Structures are given as structure tokens and as C-alpha cells.
Amino acid sequence: MGILMSEELEVKRIICNNGAGGCFAGCGLLAYIDKKTGKIVKVEGNPEHPISKLWVVYPDPFSQEKFVCYDRATIPDFPARWLYHPDQLMYALKRVGERGEGKWQRISYEQALDEIAEKLKELRDKYGPECVAFIEGTMRSDTFWARSRFAYLFGNPLNLGDPSTICHHPGTAVEQCMAGAFSREWPEMSSETRYVVLVGTDIKEAFPPLWAAFTLNRENIYAVCVDPRLTETARCCDMWLQIRPGTDCALFLGWIHILMKEGLFDKDFVLNWTNAPFLVRTDVRKLLRESDIRQGGSRENFVVWDTMRNAPAIWISEEMIFQPQDAKPSLSGTFKVKLVDGKEVECKTVWDMLWERVSKYTPEYVEEITWIPAEKIIETARMFWTRRPGGIGAGVSLYQAGKNASDNHIAMVIIHLITGNYGVKGGIWPLLRARPGPVINGKLVVRESELEGQEFIKPETKLKQIGMDQYKVMSWAAFDLYNKYYQKVWGIPQNSGGHTLTVSMPLIWRAILTGKPYPIKALIIWSGNPIMWAPNTKLVIKALKSSNLELCVVQDYFMTPTAALADYVLPAAAKGLEVPYCCNWEDYQEAVVVGENAVKPMGDRHSDYELFRGLAIRLGFGEYFPWKNNKEAIEYRLSRAGIKFEDAIRMGLLTSNTPGYLPEEDKPWALIDPKTGKPRGFTTPSRRAEIWSSILEDLGYDPLPEHEEPFESPVRTPELAKEYPLILTTGGRFRPMFHSEYRQWGMGFREQNPWPRCDIHYETARKLGIVDGDWVWIETRRGRILQRARVGPHIHPQVVNIGASWWYPELPTEEPWLGGALISNANVLTEDDPSTLDEKTGAWYCRALLCRVYKAKPEEIPKFLLGK
């Protein structure tokens, strides 16, 4: 496959983003443009693009061409089909009837911005700038920084609702508190990888490029799949552990139990690079600080027990040395330490406190909780040590587990840390956000954190963020702590707008409906469809229709159920197709991907950057958005490193070429800082990886993980389980759909997967009188929906799995239809009561719910479902 040359065609080097089939790996594509019509006529993988080269390409069964992933192989020209679909929005619409009536007036984009800005001024003056909330979707932009910049200049505390709360970001946030960085959710999947445990993720469906890397290196990898479903990924693994949904944390704690009990851990790393030897006061369950035992001591220095002197010694965090310097810390033990006030207290090491937590999680106990045989738990635990490097590859299911969401990730990080699989090639590497980049010829490309304008938000404004006092780990409360230490080491801030700073969606809807803690009066929603992805759909619709909400703006590509309830609907220009693209994945990566736009924006479509810039100009702070369009903003980002836009497009991916920042350098904490001549360490208060996170402790949380039984389950609510005897899991990925996108007929994706599927075991189905292909009701205490039964042996008999985010664009978007948002949408069944959410992050349960399933009567099935 090479670049097709023709006098009639112009070739554009674009980045796969919008119309990408649900992937943001940043692969390069070649778009061929008809010079006469200015339209895309062909799209194929760019064989010269650095990211595309990382993945195994899929062959087209009908030709000799190859594509970078499954989606390109099944529908090579899908980006063009998506862009030119007749349902694409072209012009701004203003509501002229009641919300949900479907009555619209076409207006210009400029008029829409004029009217929206005027209303925002009115609401800001009456209720304060915090009365606005922003809602968005999954990684559909390279300019999230523009949203943050607008919010901070407007005076908003960043009341941001986003599906990241149930994506990977609860893990991102807690790992920032533990290690000052965020590791990949998966092992590297390279030729050096020897052990992979895939938990709650079918990578063949969820992320085809990773599946390609996995299959390429399959011979040297021993693979375990932890999933109640026998997915295609599970079929290709060496071992399948059929877990009870919602019990992953118990399994992880059971693994830690075995690793510690059998001495299967990297003692040198644990002793010298983690805070395992730090002392914890057992009376208050808090780390012992220098300030506790010395008058005038620092709270940021910690205490160990020196085996050389049989006395306390101080870890000087800033200098990364002990005092005395030759101290030999004990990893285990109970000690009496005298405090500065003369009181003597009992202390134990973090390592022993961890053992106390996991000691009850014996293989037999974990088997009772998880359904996984004890001998399999033991065998898979040992391989974290005997088959290094490797690690756990986690899907979003870990973060859709309500009260276990953040503790799932804490336990997973501890496993990687103690077994020496953290930050090493072939294991959990590279560390994301561990260091800024790319640094090219000694110059750093401008980061999103430098563009988002953190300098514009006042400390007192941050305190107004909704949920700041409830779910602190994904709020300014945690961010300002871990950002402080990142800046100390690297001299540059973390990215506040990268979705570790979000408001749990249930709080936003309640603020609209109740006015507590203060009223949310306006929503700006872009590239997001919360009616489909947020929990408790009926409450979402109620909030969006409420007269308390005085302004609702949606910028999107299609008329979605959410857009149907807006006051203004603005047409979005597609990133990578109509707008150039420059992204380093919200500063998570040390590289930047750059691509040009294939065509000019159609109709009166504008980018999200132009949305926020246009509003900023009208609200009086346009001078802080000096770049007229996306291209100018990209040129600014590249300029410091001396790179021209055209050169960046040709390169496709910009990576560091400066020692200390090189992509192949693992263990970034051990790299020498040229300014000090010492290792940089971790960007945490102690400069070590913190098994017992001092930041989580300061926020008032128990830093160690603990399994909690789901709020409704056969164990916790046995009486309810008699009425709803099956365990429901939602959200499993299915190609070629992605979240609520690509449901329109005519693109080629809906044709491959036309109807929502309910996976049910054949024995369970037989008892219920259900056969394959039947339309069935799936019902919880909160509601019921219709999906089509897929019967087989591929799922546990007590578990049901349903497709998420289903709506039907072929239906009218006015009420009562709303595009079929209540017919098959899994979130009709989910719970959003704040008492059930993860206490650290506000993540809700999409899995481990109780349900019942029964066959739908013919008269209950809408006729359109019986059509194609």
C-alpha cells in the first residue's frame, strides 16, 4: 500500500479522530480529495505514520489493501461516509417551541453566539459565574484546554461533567496521588512482555490496535482473562477466570495477600522507592511525620525505624536522603515512638499495615466472594512475579463499580509496584504524565497545561466547584496537592482540564433540580450525549427539561436525544476532517500527534475552539484567545520547539530527542536531574511511590484498598435478589459502535450491528422460555428496556450483559420519542443516588446490578424494531 498519486486528487495527511469508529490512538490516514468537488473520495491508512506502524494491519478480505485497524478494514472509507451522511448538522438551530417539541428556527452561527453570550452575561450577573456547567463526551477534541481557559476567565470553578468519571479517570486521579503519574491501563504488549491479565476488557472489541499488538506478541505472553463473559479475547487467552461482577477488588487483594505471604515482591524497590517502610501511627491511622516527633520538623518529611540504631530516622523528602544518611529502614515491625509532646505511640510500617488489610483475603475467602477457584487465584498471583515483566490490563469496567472504583485501581497499582512491573519495558510502561514532553532539541512543545490558563482561576473560586467536599480525589482538593509536587520536579503544571477534575454527573442534575449546593442555570454541552451515557436517564431528561435550567447549548454533529432538548443546537466541525488536529492526549503522553484537515468545514460548522473563542470575545475577554482558529493555535504550540506546521504534518508524530526525555528511557523516577545531579524521584510528597498515599490521607480517606460488596447483590440484598435474580453488567464494547455514536443507518456500522444485544446463558434462557433473537425485557428496580437476546454458553448462568448507549436516530427526536432514548438505553436501569457512588471520585455503578429478564409480548415491541 502506497500513496496514490493522481492529477485529479490531492492527498491530505490527517489524523484518525472524528469518524474514527471509537478510537483515539491517533493513527495517520491519507485522505484523497477530488480537486474539482473538494470532497473526500478515498481514505486509507498512512503507511508512513509512526503510530500506524505500531499496530499490525488488518487485510481487506476483498482486496490486497491493508488498514491500521478493524474499522478501516470493514469500511475503508468510513470517515467519508460519516462526514457526508445526510443527518449531519450544517446550520445553527434555535428552539422556538417548548423543549422537546422539535420546533426550530435556523439562524447563523454568529447570531447564536450573540444570543448565548448575552444570556450567559445575564445569568452570571444574577447567580454568579459558577451557575454554568460544561458537559462533554469521550476524547472528541484536541482543544479541551480552550474549554478550561474559557471557564477560568469566565470565573467558573470548572463545573465539568464528563463520562471520564466512569472511564479511566478515577484510576488516573488516585494514581496521581500515589505515584504522581498515571500508568497505562495495559501492559506494553511488546516482545518483552511475558504476562498479561486482562480484567473486564475485551480488547478485540474495545481497542483493536491493542488487540493487534497483543496478537503480534502472543507467543511470548501468558495471558489470563478475568471476565464473566467468554469474549473473543478470553478465547485467545491461556486461562479464563469467570468472576462475579463487582468483586475485582477482592481478587486484587487476594493476589496481594499471596505475593506478600510468599515473599514474591521486589524487596529492593519496595524498600528504596516506595513508602512501604514509613511508620504509621496505629492510634490515628496516619503517617508519622517529622513534625510529630521534632519541634519545628517538617510535615513533608516522614519517619522510618532505623535498624542500625534501633531508633527513628527521618526521610528528608526534598533531598531524597535519610537523616542520618546511613540509616537502614525496617520494612516490617511494630515500634514505640515518642511524640514531640512526650506521648508515646505505637507505630507500624506501611508494609505491615498493608498486610493487616489483605491478611483476611485468603484464596478460600476470595473464592467465596468472586466465584474463582482458590487454586486459580494462587496460580495467577504467582505469575506476577515468576513471569515478569507484565501486569494487569484493565478496561473501564473497574471504574464503573461504584464504591469499589478507586480502590480497584489502588490495589492494581500496588500489585504492579511491589512486583517490579511498574515503569519497566514490557510491563506497565511508559508512565503517562510522568514527565513533560516532547522535548525537541532541548525545547518543550507547548503543553495543554500551559494553554488552559490555570493562572486565571482564583483559590476562592476553586472552593465553589460542585462536589469539592464530597468526591475530593477528582476535584481541586486533590489536584492542587499532586500538582504542587509535579511542578516542583518539572517546573511546569499538570493539566487541570484533562478529566481528572470533574463533577460527578448526579450532582449536576440535582443542582439543576434542587438548587443545591447552588443553582446550575446553564449548560454548555459539546460532543457529548449525556442522555445516553449518564446514569438514571429519566432524571437526566427531567433536569434537561426543567424550567430551572435557563440555557442549554449543544454543539454536535448530529441531532441527538440530548440536542433535542436544547435551546440552541450548533453544528460542529469535525476534528481531523474539517479542522486540523494537534494532540498529546490531554498531556498524558510525552509525544504530540499532528495532522492537517482534509476539507474545509461544510455549511456553517465551527470547531469547539471557535465556540469558546467566539463566546470569549462577546463576553469581554477575547484578547486571551489571540489565535483566530485551530491552525494558529497549533502553530503557537509548535513554535517554541522551532517546528513548522507543514513539517509537523509530514512527521505525523513528534517525540523527544533530548536525553532525560527519550521515549525508550524507562524508570523515569531514577533518571538524573541535570540541575541537582540526583534522581528526580516520583512527583509525590515523599518523592517515592506511595502505597499509603499521604495525599489521600490528607484528604480524609483510608489510603489502603478495601473491597465493598455492591449496593445491591445476592450477598448484600438477598431478599431483593429473589425478585431480581440475575446480575446485570452494562457497557461492554461491541464493534463497530462506540458509546452512543454511529447508530445511523447508511454509514456501514449499524448495518453490521443493527440491534442492541442482551447476552444470556442458554440454560438460563431455556428456564425463562427465551430463544436466540427474541426481544426481551431487562428490568431493574429503576426501570426496564428492550434488547434482543443472544443466547449461548459464552456468559455465566447468573449474569446478563447488555449493550450500552443505544438509541435510534431513525426515530423522531421530538417527544415522546427522543430518538428512542428510553427504549433500549442501559442507563434507564442504572442507579445514581449519591449514597451509592465511590466516595473518592463519584463513580457510579454500571455493573453488578440486580435484574430480571423476560420475553417481551408481541404487542410490546415497537414495530420499527421488527423491520430491517
| CA within 13 Å, CB half, 476 | 17
Residue 628 has pLDDT above 80, yes or no: yes
Instruction: Give mean pLDDT, residues 257-271.
Output: 98
The DSSP output letter for 244 is P
Radius of gyration, CA atoms only, the chain: 27
Cα 272 to Cα 266: distance, rounded to the nearest angstrom? 10
Residue 68 has pLDDT above 70, yes or no: no
- Cβ neighbors of 264 (< 8 A, separation 6 or more) are 258, 381, 382, 384, 385, 386, 419
The DSSP output letter for 447 is P
Q: Single out the residue of 385, 377, 382 nearest to residue 361, CA to CA.
A: 377
Reported as a pLDDT band with limits 50, 70 and 90, residue 810 is very high
Which own/partner pairs from 283-291 qualify as long-range (CB within 8 Å, at least 24 positions apart)? 283/345, 283/346, 285/353, 285/702, 286/697, 287/350, 287/692, 287/694, 287/697, 288/312, 288/337, 288/347, 290/314, 291/340
Quickly count: other Cβ atoms within 10 Å of residue 344's Cβ: 9
Residue recorded with cell 523516577 = 669
CA-based end-to-end distance of the chain: 36
Reported as a pLDDT band with limits 50, 70 and 90, residue 589 is confident
C-alpha cell at 26: 491517533
Return the HEC string of 600-628.
Answer: CCCCCCECHHHHHHHHHHHHCCHHHCCCC
Residue 126, exposed/middle/buried by CB under 10 A (0-12, 13-18, 19+)?
Answer: exposed
Residue 660 has pLDDT above 80, yes or no: no
Q: Per DSSP, what are the bridge partners of residue 222?
A: 195
- The mean pLDDT value of the chain amounts to 93
Reported as a pLDDT band with limits 50, 70 and 90, residue 1 is very low
Q: How far is CA 313 from the centre of its chain?
A: 40
| CA within 13 Å, CB half, 614 | 19
The DSSP output letter for 440 is E
- pLDDT above 90 coverage of the chain, percent: 80
Residue 828 has pLDDT above 70, yes or no: yes
Residue ranges of alpha helices (H) inside 474-602 are 476-490, 505-514, 530-533, 537-545
Contact present, 521 and 127 (Cβ < 8 Å):
yes
Cα 18 to Cα 578: distance, rounded to the nearest angstrom? 10
Report the pLDDT value the prediction gives residue 803, as an integer from 0 to 100: 93
Instruction: Give mean pLDDT, residues 588-595.
Output: 90
Instruction: Give mean pLDDT, residues 557-577.
Output: 97
Residue 211 has pLDDT above 90, yes or no: no
The conformational region for residue 389 under phi > 0 = left, psi -120 to 50 = alpha, else beta, is: beta
Q: What are phi and psi of 384, to 5 degrees?
A: -60, -25
Report the pLDDT value the prediction gives residue 430, as an integer from 0 to 100: 58
Instruction: Give mean pLDDT, residues 407-417.
Output: 98
Calculate the alpha carbon distances from 490 to 64, 274, 402 in Å: 48, 20, 34
For the chain, the domains span: 9-83, 92-171+434-654, 718-830+838-866
9-83 has which CATH code?
Answer: 2.20.25
Name the packing angle between helices 248-261 and 374-386 (round to 10°).
60
Residue 557 has pLDDT above 60, yes or no: yes
Pairing, β 799-802 against β 40-45: unpaired
Calculate the alpha carbon distances from 385 to 269, 421, 507 in Å: 13, 9, 42
Instruction: Give mean pLDDT, residues 390-401.
Output: 93
Instruction: Give mean pLDDT, residues 610-631.
Output: 98
Q: Single out the residue of 526, 557, 561, 558 nearest to residue 544, CA to CA.
A: 561
Residue 503 has pLDDT above 90, yes or no: yes
Report the pLDDT value the prediction gives residue 137, as an integer from 0 to 100: 87
Residue 61 has pLDDT above 50, yes or no: no
Helix, coil or strand: residue 190: coil
Residue 248 has pLDDT above 70, yes or no: yes
Report the pLDDT value the prediction gives residue 737, as an integer from 0 to 100: 80
pLDDT for 742-800, tens place per residue? 999 999 889 988 999 999 999 999 999 999 999 999 999 999 999 999 999 999 999 99
Residue 625 has pLDDT above 50, yes or no: yes
Quickly count: other Cβ atoms within 10 Å of residue 521's Cβ: 25
Report the pLDDT value the prediction gives residue 404, as an integer from 0 to 100: 98
Report the pLDDT value the prediction gives residue 2, as an integer from 0 to 100: 54
Q: How far is CA 795 from the centre of its chain?
A: 26
Q: Single out the residue of 3, 62, 6, 8 nearest to residue 28, CA to CA.
A: 3
Architecture of domain 718-830+838-866: Beta Barrel (2.40)
* Maximum C-alpha span of the chain: 87
The helix (run of H) or strand (run of E) holding residue 393 is: strand 390-394
| CATH class of the domain whose range is 92-171+434-654 | alpha beta
Q: Do domains 92-171+434-654 and 718-830+838-866 have the same CATH topology?
A: no
Task: Give the DSSP letter string of 280-337.
Answer: EETTTTEE-BHHHHSTT--TTSEEEEETTTTEEEEEETTTTEEESTT--B-SS-EEEE
Instruction: Give mean pLDDT, residues 98-116.
Output: 98
Instruction: Give mean pLDDT, residues 294-321.
Output: 98
Cα 804 to Cα 809: distance, rounded to the nearest angstrom? 15
Reported as a pLDDT band with limits 50, 70 and 90, residue 72 is low
